[in-house]
Amino acid sequence: MGMTLIEKILARASRRATVTPGENIWVNVDVLMTHDVCGPGTIGVFKREFGANAKVWDANKVVIIPDHYIFTADKRANRNVDILREFVREQDIKYFYDITDLSDFKVNPDYKGVCHVALAQEGHTRPGEVLFGTDSHTCNAGAFGQFASGIGNTDAAFILGTGKLLIKVPSTMRFVLDGEMPDYLLAKDLILQIIGDISVSGANYRTMEFAGEAVGRMTMEERMVLCNMVIEAGGKNGAIAPDETTFEYLRGRTDKPFEPVYTDADASFYSDWHCDVSKLEPVVAKPHSPDNRALARECSDVKIDRVYIGSCTGGKTTDFYNAARLLKGHKVKVPTYLVPATQKVYEDLFTLKYDGETLSEIFLSAGCIEPAAPSCAACLGGPKDTFGRLNEPEVCVSTTNRNFPGRMGDKRSQVYLASPYTAAASAITGYVTDPREFLS
C-alpha cells in the first residue's frame, strides 16, 4: 500500500520506513516557530520543565516572529515582545525578526510582520520538512509540501528542550479541484466552499491534501490561502504537492537543501472530494462561523460598515493586487482598511502596478484608508488601540479567516469572510456584493 506525501514526511521524520494513520510516533522537528502572544508562555514552560539555565535543542531551528500586538501602547503586549528579546539574547537564536523603532516600522529591516507569510518569504517553509508553530494557522506552510501544524505552548516548550514531539499520524482527506478557474473566483472562495460543505469540524485531526489542475495553476500565495484555512475545518494540517511553482518561489529564499516527497498513486484516503471549480460562484462565510456559507449574491441586502483587507490569509501581495484590480476607477462607500501582512507586501503596494498605477495609488484614489504598518492588526481583535479593530457592533466584510463572535473586537460585531474581490466589490457598494458586478 502506498503512502500520502504527509505520511512519507512523517515516516522520514520518525526514522521509519512507513507510518499508518492513527499510529503514535515521535518526530524530529526541523523548525519551531513562535510569536509574541504564545512565545512568553512557551518560554515559561521551557524554563520550568528544563531548568532556568537550559539551552534550546538547536538555536538555528527556532524562528521567533513578533507580529500580533506590536503597534499598541498596551503594556502587557509590549512586555511580551521584551520577553522574546531577552530569550533570543540568552539563547543566541538565529532567526528573530524584531522591531526596535516603533515610530516608523520601515526603518527596521529585520521586522517582517505576520508570521506565516514571513516564514514563507524568508524561506523557512521547505518541502519534506516538519514545522510546528504556536499558532493555529501554521498549517499555511502545507502549501509547500511541508508537514506544518499549530501546537500549544506545552508541546512547543517540549520541542524547545528536545527537538521532538509525539504525534498521531493523521489520516488524509483529499480535495481534488479540477476545471478552469473563473476570472471572478479566488482560492478564498474555494476554501470557504469546502468548509461550508464539510463544516468546522469536518476535518478534525486530519490532513487536507489539495490536488487537481486548478491547484496546479495557482500561485504560491493562492495555495497558501487553501492551506491556511484547513484549521477552520478542524484540520491538523494542509498539504499540496510541491512543483516548479513551489521551487521557483523558494529560489533565492533558502539555500538549505530539501527533499520533496509525493503521494503514491495507490495511497489510501479517508475521503476523496472532487469538484469542478468552473461551476462555483463567489461565496462568503456569514457571521459567526467560517462554515456558515452563502453565495455572495444571496447577501446583497446586507449593509456593511467597513471592509478589512489583511491577515495571513488575505493580506498578501496577490490579495492586494486583486483588490486593486477591482477597485480601480471606483470610489469606496465605507471605510476600507488595508493591512499588509509583511513589510515586503507593504513595499509591493508602492512598487507593483496595475494598469499603469501602483496599487497604493489605486487604493488612495478609491478613498481607502492609507495602508497600515504590517502586523496581525485587527484580525485577532487585539488591544483597544489596534488599527482597524471593530470597537463597535459594526458589520465588516473581511479577507481574514475566522469570524467567531468577538474575533475582530466587539462581540456584537458581525464579520463576513470573503475573497479580496468580494471585499473590494462590497467596499464600492456598501453592501455585501458579488464581484461579478464589477468584473467582466
Contact call for residue 380 and ligand SF4 (CB under 6 A)? yes
What is d(CA 296, CA 429) in angstroms, rounded to the nearest whole number?
13
Query: Smaller CB distance to ligand SF4: residue 239 or 312?
Result: 312
Amino acid identity for residue 87 in this structure? F
Part of the chain binding ligand SF4 (CB under 6 A), chosen from 330-338, 345-353, 375-383, 422-430: 375-383
Stretch that binds ligand SF4, among 69-77, 80-88, 143-151, 372-380 (CB under 6 A): 372-380
- Alpha-carbon 185 to chain mean position: 19
What is the distance between the alpha carbons of residues 57 and 80, in angstroms, rounded to a whole number?
Answer: 22
Q: Which of 307, 312, 366, 368 binds ligand SF4 (CB under 6 A)?
A: 312
Q: What is the DSSP string of 382-418?
A: -STT-TT-B-SS-EEEESSS--STTTTB-TT-EEEE-
Cβ contact 244:260 at 8 Å: no
Number of residues counted as binding ligand SF4 (CB under 6 A): 13
Q: Does 143 bind ligand SF4 (CB under 6 A)?
A: no
SS3 assignment for 242-294: CCHHHHHHHCCCCCCCCCCCCCCCCECCCEEEEEEHHHCCCEEECCCCCCCEE
Site string for ligand SF4, 385-404 (x = CB under 6 A): ---------------xx---
Candidates 125, 153, 245, 311; binder of ligand SF4 (CB under 6 A) is 311
Q: Give the Å distances, CA to CA, from 151 to 138, 148, 158.
A: 9, 10, 11
Contact flag: residue 379 with ligand SF4 (CB under 6 A): yes
Q: Does 407 bind ligand SF4 (CB under 6 A)?
A: no
Minimum distance, C-beta of residue 80 to ligand SF4, in the bound complex (Å): 14
- Give the nearer residue to ligand SF4 in terms of CB position, either 69 or 158: 69
- Binders of ligand SF4 among residues 106 to 125 (CB under 6 A) are 114-116
> Is 36 a binder of ligand SF4 (CB under 6 A)?
no
Cell reading at 79? 512586555
Closest CA to 50 of 165, 166, 158, 163: 158
Residue 288: cis peptide before it, omega within 30 degrees of 0: yes
Rounded Cα distance between 326 and 421, Å, is 6
- Tell me if 232 sits within 8 A of 195, measured CB to CB: yes
Is 316 an interacting residue with respect to ligand SF4 (CB under 6 A)? no
Select 122 or 357, whichever has its Cβ closest to ligand SF4: 122
Contact flag: residue 6 with ligand SF4 (CB under 6 A): no
The contact mask relative to ligand SF4 for 203-242 (x = CB under 6 A, - = no) is: ----------------------------------------
Please report, as residue ranges, which positions from 68 to 97 form the binding site for ligand SF4 (by CB under 6 A).
Answer: 68
Binding site for ligand SF4 (CB under 6 A): 68, 114-116, 135, 137, 311-312, 376, 379-380, 400-401
